Structure 1
């Protein structure tokens, strides 16, 4: 027996308030809703830095508003964004069909015919497909309206277009194509899940043949196996709300999903008596659970609230069967309850293989990270987590003072001459000892991190400034068009960070034997540091085309970058005289410990 929980109307509006708080007045305009979706879906923190890399330029973007690729995670997201300024019954279906245009240009059109601003993205995703570096291609129509059947039909057509294009690039491609309408309902579900891991708060009963309890220090659990019909009924009533603790992870039941879910369905339908030995079952969080012995010698489980933290594919596959499964189908099940919120997050993290531990989490207890966290307490308006990844609730909070760990690692790597590692191997910065120790060492200080991080942010803001100007229909100067073409190339922001850092001897007019000693002092906030860099950078930005030789196929390359950066330094040295006042003003702010 499952009593359906009521949904609060106020809750359904909460995500919109969170969006306005997070991105109100941002430079990303209506495309910010795509970033918000990206952050909620994948628990990404530094959305401003991601936006600087992922929001495409206007004018000739061929209906692709956002392009995000993470080869370490094996994921690419292509999105069309729409923000209704007043309540509408549905989002325009024609904008969903526009994704067909985006997919065609990115995956199928001859590369030399692709617009220059989109060409690096097209080349990158095609090569990733050919090299088997992607596991999933997410194609989203992101908006703030209710979902609709018309849009769903268009999304299905887009999925077929993408499937055909991918298989022309790689005939045996195992890539999952996850096309979806990312509208108000899904935003609401993700947002509510960020605040509470258990969205289904109804009273639930089921009968089981046997089971046993296990008690921990601050948790309790009950191991048993439940009828498949119970899982079927739960999914029928609550759908994806059942996966609120790992709502990002139920992929749906497609034949193309490496046959995982279709295989579960096959067993459930044709071999239910063997399901118990073929399937790992489910693990669920509940608010509380009690067990009562019945006259029939069976046991009645009564639980309050439920969220599946492992076994989302099993639950979804059984729940989406054409009819309720046979009584022989029994599903191994484990129910856990605790009042310790930190323990809940750990249970979710360690039970769910799709919700992987962040690479930086492994360093959060490192002595250097602990020291850096203590040092950051002395720096005004600065937060640093020391490697720890925030929870899903942190993703949606506006934390303007946060220096996210991954971005800090990238900024340090680029600043100290390794922009290719910073762009291509951001996880390895935290995982591989030799790389980690190159940037996080005894010489690394919080004030130096602020120095390097602020440079990275300043460069990203420059790109956004030009993109925003173009999206607003303003004419770009020839120099701005050249700069935008440069910034559309993959790894350009981190390359620029490395080049600017490399020319600091010319700017400061003194030798710098150890760049880790550079800072603006521990009393300088990240915002103030950003202002210092912003004052310095205009003459340096005018030289960006000097770095064009650092790319191969519109992507930063190690050997080419090593040649291009010294060339850039030499040009900066040549313009030091005409820019003496700007350089001296900046130099007066810099401290060398």
Structure 2
């Protein structure tokens, strides 16, 4: 059994997804996703009539869409069946070409969102994956060339299609091993780069060596435009973006690069770069630093700001840089940690070190079977060996946004919750507590579990669902439906517990309640209120984007919860016993 297979076998939490577990695992390896259950709730199609599309993963922030066909073989064979790869042509026809009214209900919402995202210019990379657990083959490769051509042809009639890069990939044993190995190394960009330098010096330690020199900003700009976030694979955060504000450091970096190129070197703190190796090449009066492999562990904001300029920076713009070669993995971890924790952190910088996240991390550590990383995506190892106790930071942000009335933000802006000072302050205020995080997070998990139960029941025996369950499953087929239902239930919390709540951030279970137990408490509330979810469907008329429609739909939902409160009083009273409202 290869390393990636052992890692997949360890993720027994994915077994419930059947063959699609392999597809989810592939997404985790490729895109460093540490919460596959929320991805599964949005991306897996849920029936036999899926038109050869097992997974449709859309990430508007990354500007990607992945359409996948998954196949798992119990026996070892030389290659996967090529006809399964050609099945992706069927998926293309249904998702991109057929009239929406002709699509099965379970695909209609997915296809509509994909087409809208492409036409709105929100998708830059459209990928087709044939995912299996067998060796790759030329037969499959040839079939995927046809898939790629079919997809390009299907896009020609769509607005902004020329901006979409289309590719088809076989994700078999070789690709899995490659992606798995990438997760073990903090350096994902393996290019060999030669940089002209003027001056510089080498420094050596017991088990490391480094070279310090000013480098042209143009080098960073070219690297960033080529590799984007992969350039920061060892960093705690990617480039945070820039706004036209004097208080925003990234905008200041861009401004000084444009207006004071000759002085940039003295204005900037510089960058620290992990490399696999480096050597100095002397050629007459010109020296070159030859680097193999690169990951910027400190200086993501400098690099991103320079790379985001409208044109290459002036040749006079120089950046202080040090290149570190450290073969010891423990030393590498320390380099990454200390390079991102020794300087004062501002509100627009790394959230993972601010006092609110530190406090939440400490508080959640005291709760049974709960871990929290405090404002970060999981580390490289988390995507392959995720702790069952972990509350992923991005999911926590989404759960809090939904719980506090912003399902549009929860679904569409999961990264921006951490980047935007305004959004961050809204969902992580001074009075947020670890217990409240568990309260909101466990509601999201309870809703996702309710959807998964229906999906499993439908797949096992489609005709076994009641009319009410059919209607609820149709609601759940809307992308973003879980966040909207969380928001609607949280909005009806006063009715559920029977009295006014001045500040919803003060609500929680007790400090001993684990996320799993909390989800169990919420499950009965979800079961008695979810039948009203069809009243929320109007909010999806143009995707989950319109806050006014969301508010109107939630008001109707809340009225129905109120109207049935007497009938559900026993359930509500039982739940109320678990709820605590702090007066501090």
**TM-score category (smaller protein):** 0.7 to 0.9
- Pick one of 385, 391, 401 that aligns with 2:373: 385
Q: Aligned to 1:118, what secondary structure does the other structure show?
A: helix
| 1:102, distance to aligned residue in structure 2 (A) | 0.7
Work out the CA distance in 1 between the residues paired with 2:545 and 2:135: 41
Work out the CA distance in 2 between the residues paired with 1:459 and 1:374: 27
User: Corresponding residue for 2:202?
Assistant: 214
User: Corresponding residue for 1:38?
Assistant: 27
| 1:553, distance to aligned residue in structure 2 (A) | 3.5
Task: Output one character per residue of 1:416-456: Cα deviation in whole Å (capped at 9) or x when no partner.
Answer: 11111111122221122221111101110000010000000
- Pick one of 96, 116, 127 that aligns with 2:105: 116
* 1:550-589 to 2 correspondences below 5 Å: 550-553=539-542, 555=544, 557-589=546-578
User: Corresponding residue for 1:546?
Assistant: 535
User: Corresponding residue for 2:243?
Assistant: none
Work out the CA distance in 2 between the residues paired with 1:361 and 1:404: 19
Counterpart contact for 2:275–2:295, Cα < 8 Å: no
Counterpart contact for 2:210–2:322, Cα < 8 Å: no
Work out the CA distance in 2 between the residues paired with 1:496 and 1:107: 28
Counterpart contact for 1:120–1:489, Cα < 8 Å: yes
* 1:130-169 to 2 correspondences below 5 Å: 130-169=119-158
Change (3 A) 1:129 1:70: same
Change (3 A) 1:93 1:525: same
Work out the CA distance in 1 between the residues paired with 2:549 and 2:385: 39
| 1:221, distance to aligned residue in structure 2 (A) | 3.3
| 1:60, distance to aligned residue in structure 2 (A) | 1.9
Counterpart contact for 1:459–1:496, Cα < 8 Å: yes
Work out the CA distance in 1 between the residues paired with 2:339 and 2:429: 32
Work out the CA distance in 2 between the residues paired with 1:503 and 1:26: 34
List alignment gaps of at least 5 residues for structure 1. Answer: 1-9, 226-242, 248-282, 311-332, 350-358
Task: Output one character per residue of 1:356-415: Cα deviation in whole Å (capped at 9) or x when no partner.
Answer: xxx997211222111111111211111111112222221111311111111111111111
| 1:549, distance to aligned residue in structure 2 (A) | 2.1
| 1:548, distance to aligned residue in structure 2 (A) | 1.9
Counterpart contact for 1:132–1:173, Cα < 8 Å: no
Counterpart contact for 2:69–2:88, Cα < 8 Å: yes
User: Corresponding residue for 2:456?
Assistant: 468
Question: Is residue 93 from structure 1 mapped to residue 93 from structure 2 by the alignment?
Answer: no
Work out the CA distance in 1 between the residues paired with 2:19 and 2:335: 35
Q: Aligned to 2:371, what secondary structure does the other structure show?
A: coil
Change (3 A) 1:433 1:284: closer
Work out the CA distance in 1 between the residues paired with 2:505 and 2:529: 22
Work out the CA distance in 2 between the residues paired with 1:422 and 1:505: 22
Work out the CA distance in 2 between the residues paired with 1:293 and 1:498: 63
Question: Is residue 486 from structure 1 mapped to residue 470 from structure 2 by the alignment?
Answer: no
| 1:579, distance to aligned residue in structure 2 (A) | 1.6
Counterpart contact for 1:284–1:335, Cα < 8 Å: yes
Work out the CA distance in 2 between the residues paired with 1:131 and 1:292: 48
User: Corresponding residue for 1:429?
Assistant: 417
* 1:148-227 to 2 correspondences below 5 Å: 148-170=137-159, 173-197=162-186, 213-215=201-203, 219-221=209-211
User: Corresponding residue for 1:342?
Assistant: 333
Question: Is residue 513 from structure 1 mapped to residue 513 from structure 2 by the alignment?
Answer: no
User: Corresponding residue for 2:73?
Assistant: 84
Work out the CA distance in 2 between the residues paired with 1:293 and 1:554: 58
Change (3 A) 1:186 1:348: farther
| 1:170, distance to aligned residue in structure 2 (A) | 2.4
Work out the CA distance in 2 between the residues paired with 1:172 and 1:44: 27
Question: Is residue 415 from structure 1 mapped to residue 403 from structure 2 by the alignment?
Answer: yes
- Pick one of 415, 428, 432 that aligns with 1:444: 432
Change (3 A) 1:334 1:142: farther
Work out the CA distance in 2 between the residues paired with 1:146 and 1:558: 47
Change (3 A) 1:405 1:138: same
* 1:277-316 to 2 correspondences below 5 Å: 307=293, 309=295
| 1:289, distance to aligned residue in structure 2 (A) | 6.1
List alignment gaps of at least 5 residues for structure 2. Answer: 216-229, 235-271, 297-320, 341-346
Task: Output one character per residue of 1:533-564: Cα deviation in whole Å (capped at 9) or x when no partner.
Answer: 11332111222212222221354531111111
> Aligned-residue CA RMSD in angstroms?
3.5
Between 468-477 and 506-515, the greater mean CA deviation after superposition:
468-477
| 1:219, distance to aligned residue in structure 2 (A) | 4.6
| 1:285, distance to aligned residue in structure 2 (A) | 5.9
Q: Aligned to 1:84, what secondary structure does the other structure show?
A: coil
Question: Is residue 397 from structure 1 mapped to residue 388 from structure 2 by the alignment?
Answer: no
- Pick one of 17, 22, 27 that aligns with 2:16: 27
Work out the CA distance in 1 between the residues paired with 2:451 and 2:397: 21
Counterpart contact for 2:130–2:169, Cα < 8 Å: yes
User: Corresponding residue for 2:239?
Assistant: none
* 1:341-380 to 2 correspondences below 5 Å: 341-342=332-333, 362-380=350-368
Work out the CA distance in 2 between the residues paired with 1:466 and 1:586: 23
Task: Output one character per residue of 1:272-318: Cα deviation in whole Å (capped at 9) or x when no partner.
Answer: xxxxxxxxxxx996656677999x99999999xx54559xxxxxxxx
Work out the CA distance in 2 between the residues paired with 1:293 and 1:518: 65
Counterpart contact for 2:371–2:391, Cα < 8 Å: yes
User: Corresponding residue for 2:344?
Assistant: none
Work out the CA distance in 1 between the residues paired with 2:389 and 2:505: 22
User: Corresponding residue for 2:444?
Assistant: 456
Change (3 A) 1:92 1:396: same
